[in-house]
Amino acid sequence: MSDITQITSEHISAHGLPASVFKDSTTYDMECDKLFAQGWASIGCAQQISKPGDILPIRIAGQSLIAMRNKNGEIGVFHNVCRHKAAPLVDEPCNKRSLVCPYHKWTFKIDGNLLSAPRYFGSENKVMSEEDKADKSLISVRFAVWWDIIFVNIDGKAEPFEDFIRPLDEQLSNYPKDDIHLTSSTDYSGEVNWKLAVDNFLDGYHVPFVHSQACTLDSVLDQQDLFLSDNIVGLHLANGASAKPAKTAKQLPHFNGLAEDKRGTQQWFGIFPNTLFFVDPCWVQTIVIKPMGATQTAETLNIYVVNEEAASEEYAAERETLNAVLNEVNQQDIELLDKLQVTRSNDIANQGHLNAAWDQVNMTFHQMWLKKMTAQANDE
């Protein structure tokens, strides 16, 4: 068992988080309750539920949720829990006119309201009134959609989402975020602690070595660390992977109206706790990290092109190539992380040394975690 209160900021600055927090089940349980339930965590993307009746079930950090699009095209997020005996309603993505509980056939409308419950009054031949149903709707979850990412705040007490995300909105103010088109959504899983997946994404140092097909060492020497808020860190490459060939046979269109000086720029961000976000002039990538246990993580990689022209048939081959390249990169990371879990969670890792030239963003992510977890521990 790891004692959160004994972790020091000084240890993190030198060595990163202690090995125990990458495998300890008590720490994981606390993260589920305090980080994922009390903050703004991502669960998926809106274009995964593009049609009325689309339903996306999500398991993340001990929560079972569903995101749905109702007949009016509006999104809602609810606990995936029947209001009778808490049975899960949906197991797989689907499109339905209503949700029927597999346990006792209570049926809910796609807007979350209870539609019917068989023989609710037993032998008494009576129909449920609207008043009877009023307090039995699905339990809604506070949510926001930003750059197509669905964020939720389970306990409903986090700061307004607009305030939470404002520093990143300002950073990306030149990018027309409403123009992005989803081209693929791919699920992955790994035998790894969720923090290692986030840490790896924020590690620009590894990219030219693990993903040599995507980036050169010279190109990342110019990376700029970004510290936007207590919840958002990132990296910026003014010239992207400019020394590497283009990822597609012909150039995908840039963001509409993007300034010339932004057309070589790449930026990627970690939005605490679990949202990974990459913006290229021609494509966008989001990764939703979904903790499933102390040493088990699922994730969904969503890839977008950045305007209607890029989403047209003319660029079908280029989109397919882009999807293949970015999924290859992610698969390389998954394979690395499964191995890293074994060694990074061993106490010998506490003798490692962070590199001041490369690891400032990673160190800051670890310090974010410590600050939030220690505050929560002291509140109990």
pLDDT tens digit string along 121-159? 999 989 999 999 999 999 999 999 999 999 999 999 999
Q: Residue 219 pairs with which residues in a beta bridge?
A: none
In a domain, 150, yes or no: no
pLDDT at position 377: 52
In a domain, 225, yes or no: yes
Both structure tokens of 75 = 């999104």
Same domain, 190 and 303: yes
Closest of 229, 163, 194 to residue 368, by C-alpha: 229
pLDDT at position 244: 46
In a domain, 210, yes or no: yes
Same domain, 330 and 196: yes
Query: Residue ranges of the alpha helices (H) in the chain?
Result: 9-15, 25-31, 130-133, 161-171, 194-201, 207-210, 217-220, 316-344, 360-379
Q: What is the pLDDT of the chain when averaged over all its residues?
A: 93
pLDDT at position 241: 59
One-character DSSP codes across 118-130:
TTTTTTS--PPPH
Q: In the predicted model, is pLDDT for residue 246 greater than 80?
A: no
Same domain, 26 and 48: no
pLDDT digits (tens, 9 = 90+) for 43-82: 999 999 999 999 999 999 999 999 999 999 999 999 999 9
In a domain, 297, yes or no: yes
- Strand arrangement, sheet containing 283-293: 181-190, 296-305, 283-293, 275-279, 266-271, 232-237, 224-227
Rounded Cα distance between 320 and 322, Å, is: 5
In a domain, 6, yes or no: no
Instruction: Report the percentage of the chain scoring pLDDT > 70.
Output: 96
pLDDT at position 118: 95
Rounded Cα distance between 188 and 301, Å, is: 8
If pLDDT is split at 50, 70 and 90, which confidence band does 243 have?
Answer: very low
Q: What is the mean pLDDT of residues 260-284?
A: 93
Same domain, 36 and 183: yes
pLDDT at position 221: 85
Q: What domain range is 122 assigned to?
A: 42-144
In a domain, 166, yes or no: no
Same domain, 111 and 223: no
Same domain, 31 and 48: no
Q: Which of 12-21, 213-222, 230-239 has the lowest mean pLDDT?
A: 213-222
Same domain, 185 and 92: no
Same domain, 311 and 188: yes
**CATH code: domain of residue 317:** 3.90.380.10
Domains: count for the chain: 2
**CATH code: domain of residue 78:** 2.102.10.10
In a domain, 157, yes or no: no
Boundary residue ending a domain (93, 123, 144):
144
Same domain, 320 and 350: yes
Contact in structure between 86 and 63 (CB atoms under 8 Å): no
Same domain, 234 and 109: no
Backbone dihedral angles phi then psi of residue 101, each to the nearest 5 degrees: -65, 130
pLDDT digits (tens, 9 = 90+) for 95-111: 999 999 999 999 999 99
In a domain, 311, yes or no: yes
Q: How many residues does the chain have?
A: 380
Q: In the predicted model, is pLDDT for residue 367 greater than 80?
A: yes
Rounded Cα distance between 57 and 44, Å, is: 9
Q: In the predicted model, is pLDDT for residue 245 greater than 90?
A: no
Same domain, 50 and 32: no
Q: What is the mean pLDDT of residues 180-195?
A: 97
One-character DSSP codes across 4-52:
GGG--HHHHHHH-S-GGGGT-HHHHHHHIIIIITTS-EEEEEGGGG-ST
Is the N-terminal amide bond of 57 cis, ω within 30° of 0? no
Who contacts 227 (Cβ-Cβ below 8 Å, separation ≥6)? Answer: 233, 361, 364
pLDDT at position 303: 98
Same domain, 311 and 249: yes
Q: Which helix (H) or strand (E) holds 56?
A: strand 54-60
pLDDT digits (tens, 9 = 90+) for 330-365: 999 999 999 999 999 999 999 999 999 999 999 999
pLDDT digits (tens, 9 = 90+) for 5-42: 889 999 999 999 999 999 999 999 999 999 999 999 99
Tell whether pTM > 0.75. yes
